[in-house]
Structure formats: structure tokens, C-alpha cells
Structure 1
Amino acid sequence: MVSDNSLQPHKEVDMDAAFLQQIIDNQYQLPEGHNLIDLTVDLMTFLGSTDAEMRDNYAYNILSRWITLYDYHTPNELRAMIDWLLPRLRTEIGSYGQDSVFERSYAALILSLIAYRDTRSSFLSSDEISDLLRIAGDYLLAEVDNRAYVPEQGWANAYAHAADFLRFLLYSPLVKPDEQIYAINTVAQKIMTPSEAVFLHDEDDRLARVVVAVLRRSELLATDLDRWLGLFSDWKRDNVPQEEYDPVYHRTYQNIKLFLRALLIQVEFMEYLPVVRDDFQPLLLATVRSYSI
């Protein structure tokens, strides 16, 4: 994606906690005498900070409201932000336990908010949505740092933020059925990837909401959903512990079970989806039972 309004280098603002707190205290209004884009770039730079206060309380807090509540940025400015954020998804990708996880994770989180903004103003084209959907899926699969909370540095939550990025893109009416299948297959692949940790911080719910976003569209065929559920049955049939206690197998098994249960609960909470209730829900329940004692 190439924007017509790239974010140009600029003289950085002396942006400390007091300055940012003043923005919050002033109902998130743009400070007089300051340029929106310059401040945006500086705030996005703080997204990779290991200082939880600067990253969460200030950078994310302010940007989230400017993007989704006050609509400060024009479509071209949002595209420029996308161009700035996308390379951050690849920063030391594949590494575990490094500070770079914050840059990747929070880039995905802000991208999810820009995707949410598109649900209200529809400024992204079909090709742009398609490109971002593939990028979001690639990032979800490539991210291996599953730490949710990092002591002394705060929330990383890369899996959850990657799921949010994918989910909000799926709210676009421009997403085609084959892209919806790609999205839910990507989630299944991530869930079934051998895991070094069990979901403890709602990762299962956040990933399930990606699938719910597709179900709400009611555009996939029952056979598409049956085939997707069959992926989990296939995993259970084809994977067996390599020894009496195989920790990787059991962690992965638990994550699949947690995900399927989270999805079942969310489907039950859905108010109006008769096709899902009549055709998909019984098969989902059967799959959950197959993973239960």
C-alpha cells in the first residue's frame, strides 16, 4: 500500500508525560501550535516503548481517540499511518522474549483501529482491504511471542492484537467469501500450531471473535463451515502424544479446546443467526465434545 500523503521526517516535539497528560486533560484536543501529523508520528514511535505508561496510557490512549472517536485524520493521512505501521509488524519477527514485541503488537493494535474507522467511513478500497487482510493473517501466523503481560513492561498481547487487526478488517463489506475462508483457516492454523504456552489472557476469546465476525456476515456456505470444523477433528485424529506426557502436545490440545469452547459460547450469545444456529452450532458442539473429557 502506498499513500499519497507520506509521513515526512520532522523536528520531534519535546513530548513528555506532562505534555501528553495535558492533551488528555484537554479532552484530547490537538494542542494549539502543533501539527497533527508530527504529533501522530511521535506518538506512533512511542508504541514500541518498554515504558507502559508512555505506550499505553499516552500513545495508544491518545491515538485511539484521535482515530476512532474524533476522526482527526483524513483518509490519506490514515493511509500514510498504515504505510508507517506495516513495516513495524516485521521488526524482529520470529523472535521471542525481545522488546521488539511491543512495536509489532501495538502496530497491529493501531492498524485494527484504522480498520475500525473504515467500518464507519469506507475509505479503503477492495484491493487495500484484501492486501491488509493477507498482511494481518501473515502477521498472526508469524508472531511467536505469546507473552501477554511482561513484568515491569506491561501488556504485550501480540496474539490478541493480531486477532483484533484481522477481525476489524472482516467487518468491511468488501471482504469476499474466499477471503473470509482464508481468515478462519488462518485462525485454525494458528490455534493448531504447536504451542509453548496455554492461553491464559483471553487469547482464545479474541481469536474466536475473528470467526464470529465471519459468521455474522452469513455469506459462507454450510459446507465451508463444516470443512473448517473438520480441521480440528483432523488434528485430533492425526496428532498423538510422543510419550506419556508430551508438554507441547498437551498445551496445543488445551488451546484448541479453549478456543472451541470460547467460540461455542460466543455463538450462543449471538442474537440473530438462524443459519448458524441450525447448521453450524450442532457441529461445533460435537467438535467441542470430542475435545472434552
Structure 2
Amino acid sequence: MTESTWESVRSRGMDVPDDRPLHEMTAELVQMLGDPEPRVREEIAYPVLTAWLQRGVFDDLLAGLGDGIVSGLGFGLGRDGDSSVIRRSYSALMLAEIVGRDNDVHLVQAPTVLAWGDAATSWYVREFDHRGWIPEMGWAHAIAHGADLLAALARSRHFGALELTVLLDVVADRVLAPTAYTWRHGEDDRLAFAVMTLLHRNALDTTLVEPWLARLGAGLRPPPTRGHLEVEWPTTEARNTSAFMRALHLQLALGVQGRSDLRGDAALFAEQPTDRADLLLAVLDQIRAESPWLYRPTSRTPVP
């Protein structure tokens, strides 16, 4: 189908054309997700696929569609600075929508969703290209789209305490990993929201979460020196970690809301996480320790 034909599909309300097999059109749209031209992927491929997902067009094919999308996570993995990141990033974004659909309609079996989770986390911690906006290509946003995928997996009924703990560790691995890229396009907020989604499941004890926060806090403090700084501080990853911790603090303090188009989010986000008060204080402890010369020490009094 020509680009103009896809434009007409969009202009007619995203109705599924009846003159071509669905699998052929789907394969074409999936290929378009990796197009370096932003209009092709962001104004045609992604919205058309998402609309068809939400209307149930792929409900009988959901597992196969997800398996096909997962393969895009490995496309050019290990490269940095070329266009291959577009395919990986938009595969993550599309897989988040597929997991979200399953969270709504409960069609995909646990082994399949868990396999998607394994592929997603393996890709996410190995993604080197953290560019948000790329001139001439628009949004890449692999870190933000990966965070959206983690949030979708955190909502899954197939993810229990063990799997949620793995997601938590993956977030720490991603935040703390050395990088040359400073996150400046909302990546910290998107990752913090993924963690908030996980916390709203109320499946993890604070005895697991607090050591995780301490691990992140350790990444905020400079290494020991012998009278002089041996490396520039803060490093890029330390700045990213600091931004993430502050985003998590703010989201815990203010509260977050889910997506209006996901059926389960109203109930999931109806109340604050059970251990919110303790978690908020634990986050503050790590932020305070980053600059002990600046912040006044306070007692761990529960926050209302």
C-alpha cells in the first residue's frame, strides 16, 4: 500500500481495509514502525496499529503479533548513533500496547508474556543509544519507551512478586549503567512512573524495596578519593540517577494516575501504595545523603 493509501485509512477513522489480507497489512505497518521518517511511524504505523489493537482486530492473533514485535528489540542492538534505534524503540512502544491489550482482555498465556518480559528486560539493559530527539528523524526515546514497556509488564496478572522484583532490578541496572547521554526528555519521569506502577501492585515488601533504593543512593555519591577528585563528578549516570530519584520522590509525594484507556488502571491507581509513607522517607534518605552539607537531617516521621 502506498503512503497515500495509508493516509486515507487514517482519515477514514482507521477502519480496516477489506481489499488486502490482514497479515500483509500488519507486516507492512510493523516494518513502518522502524522508518527513520517520523511521519511514517508516528502518524501512520503506530496510530493505525494501536487503533486496531484497541478495537480487538488482533485479539485472535495477539500472541503471534507480540512475538513478531519482540524480534525488533534485537535489531541492531549494540549500535549507537544510527537509525537502528528507531526500530528497537518503537518495537518496545508497540509491545507495551500489546501487553496493555492483554491486561485488558486476558487472551495471552503466562509463558508467552513472561517470554516477552525476558526479551524486553534483556534489550533494555543493553540499549546504548539513549537519544531522545534526533534531528531529521524525530523522537527515538528508547529509554522512555522502554519505561512504558516495563510499566505495562508491571500491570500484568502474570507478573507476581518474583517478576516484579526483577523489573525493579532492571530499572536500577538501567539507571546506574555508565552512559554518555544525559536524560533530558522526560526519561526520569517515565521510569519513575514505571516504578510507581509496580509499587501500586502492593506485591513487594519494603524490606525488598529499601535495599534497592540504597543501591541507587550509592550511585549518587562520589567514589573515595585521595585528596583530589580522580574523575569528574557527577558523572552522567549519576546525574541521571539523581533526576530519577527526585522524580520518584515527587510522584510518591503527589500521587500518580493511570491511563484512561486502560480498563484496570482506575482500580490500580485508586489508592496510594500501601507502604507509601515508609517508601517516601526511604527515598528522601537517599536524596539527603547525596548532599549532606545541604539538607537538614530529620527524623523518619510517617508522612500523612
Q: CA deviation digits over 1:94-139, x for unaligned, max 9? A: 1101111111111111111000101111112222222222221111
Q: 1:23 to 1:107 in 2, by over 3 A?
A: same
Q: CA deviation digits over 1:68-117, x for unaligned, max 9? A: 2x121123x12121221222111111110111111111111111100010
Q: Distance in 2 between matches of 1:274 and 1:153?
A: 39
Q: Which residue of 2 aligns with 1:11?
A: none
Q: Which residue of 2 aligns with 1:74?
A: 59
From 32, 36, 50, the equivalent of 1:46 is: 32
Q: Does structure 2 retain, via aligned residues, the 8 Å contact 1:241–1:249?
A: no
Mapping 1:95-244, distance limit 5 Å:
95-236=79-220, 239=223, 244=229
Q: Distance in 2 between matches of 1:113 and 1:277?
A: 28
Q: Does structure 1 retain, via aligned residues, the 8 Å contact 2:38–2:139?
A: yes
Q: Does structure 2 retain, via aligned residues, the 8 Å contact 1:233–1:287?
A: yes
Q: CA deviation digits over 1:10-60, x for unaligned, max 9? A: xxxxx2221111111111001232222211110101111111111111111
Larger displacement relative to structure 2 (15-24 or 137-146): 15-24
1:251 has 2:236 as partner:
yes
Mapping 1:17-36, distance limit 5 Å:
17-36=3-22
Q: Match of 1:198, as an amino acid? A: T
Q: Shift of residue 237 of structure 1?
A: 5.2
Q: CA deviation digits over 1:224-274, x for unaligned, max 9? A: 111111112333457358974845852111111100011111112326226
From 39, 44, 48, the equivalent of 1:62 is: 48
Scaled by the length of structure 2, the TM-score of the pair is: 0.85
Q: Distance in 1 between matches of 2:151 and 2:140?
A: 18
Q: Does structure 2 retain, via aligned residues, the 8 Å contact 1:89–1:105?
A: yes
Q: Distance in 2 between matches of 1:41 and 1:239?
A: 50
Q: Distance in 2 between matches of 1:169 and 1:178?
A: 13
Alignment length (residue pairs): 277
Q: Shift of residue 278 of structure 1?
A: 2.4
Q: Distance in 2 between matches of 1:200 and 1:210?
A: 17
Q: Distance in 1 between matches of 2:190 and 2:230?
A: 29
Q: Match of 1:226, as an amino acid? A: E
Taking only aligned residues, the RMSD between alpha carbons, in angstroms, comes to: 2.0
Larger displacement relative to structure 2 (186-195 or 228-237): 228-237
Q: CA deviation digits over 1:141-190, x for unaligned, max 9? A: 01110111110111111111111112101101221101111101110111
Q: Does structure 2 retain, via aligned residues, the 8 Å contact 1:184–1:210?
A: no
Q: Distance in 1 between matches of 2:224 and 2:140?
A: 32
Q: Does structure 1 retain, via aligned residues, the 8 Å contact 2:62–2:107?
A: no
Q: Distance in 2 between matches of 1:38 and 1:264?
A: 46
From 229, 252, 262, the equivalent of 1:267 is: 252
Q: Distance in 1 between matches of 2:278 and 2:111?
A: 32
Q: Distance in 2 between matches of 1:17 and 1:49?
A: 12
Q: Distance in 2 between matches of 1:65 and 1:55?
A: 14
Q: 1:39 to 1:200 in 2, by over 3 A?
A: same
Q: Which has the higher helix share?
A: 1
Identity %: 27
Q: Distance in 1 between matches of 2:194 and 2:47?
A: 23
Q: Does structure 1 retain, via aligned residues, the 8 Å contact 2:79–2:129?
A: yes
